[in-house]
Amino acid sequence: MAKFRLLPDEQLARSPFKQLWREFSRQHSAIAGLLIFSLFFLLVLLSAVLTPHDPYLQNDSLLLLPPSWSQQGLVQYPFGTDDLGRDLFSRLLVGARYTFGIAMITVMGALVMGLLLGTLAGMTKGLKSSILNHVLDLALTIPSLLLAIIIVAILGPGLQNTTWAIMLALLPQFVHGIRNAIAEQLNQDYVIAYRLDGANNWQVFSRIILPNIWEKLTLMATMALSTATLDIAALGFLGLGAQAPTAEWGAMIADSLDLIYIAPVSVAIPGLLIFLAVLSVNLVGDGLRNAAKKRREN
């Protein structure tokens, strides 16, 4: 029997991921965001190895040391030290794990729980689905940061409680988005035909619906990551998140506010890192959204 090989264009047409990457790679801003995002991701993984000094070691002889580019600065302390003599560069590296790393964990947790509840809401009918939908609509009227503050006020301050609070605050938007995506798929002709062929709910979801909504899941997770990063930093700044001496970027800004005129670097650099982290996620999210739209049009 003769064997036929697909041409490169035909292979590309049969691979949604390759199509998505082709459209994504054409956007310079999206690639720039991906590079910055990859850098922060590497910092999350390797911060413990890259830190030149103990981020919690206090040194009374090096209080408020200026950055290394200043005449009074030292090369061993690129960004100087804080009011307790701790190396700012090492604390910023470790802070990537607490601010950006925990944000990724909360988003993944919210995505998994949202997929379970969203599937339940989208695939079932009746009273329990109606009640869940009304609860979601009520929760979506509350901003995620305000909802996280309410949850932290109940659970108590701390980084662990902050993680749970933001995860629960992000959950309604995941459930709502997944429920709508599933409901949209259930009305498609190919799903109705698959049901008429004898498929049960699990087969319909796993073989038809889930492969068709993975792009939306990726977009929701990407956009939620920027929200989670800002919320963790905001709760740390307000004193409800990471507690001293944890080197979390929002908490570092709050601790250094009194020193903003003496050591502005201790406030500016953590704020700049938060800005870059959120910007990179938003650029990647916008790039994915545009790439998915163009892929569907083609």
Q: Which amino acid, 275? A: F
pLDDT at 48: 85
pLDDT at 146: 87
Closest residue by Cα to residue 36 from 208, 290, 272, 227: 272
Lowest mean pLDDT among 99-108, 157-166, 195-204: 195-204
pLDDT at 6: 45
The residue with greater pLDDT, 294 or 287, is 287
Query: pLDDT tens across 140-193, in order?
Result: 777 888 888 988 988 888 888 999 999 988 988 898 889 888 888 888 888 888
C-beta separation of 181 from 164 below 8 A: no
Strand partners, 87: 81
CB-based contacts of 290, cutoff 8 Å, min separation 6: 23, 24, 27, 30
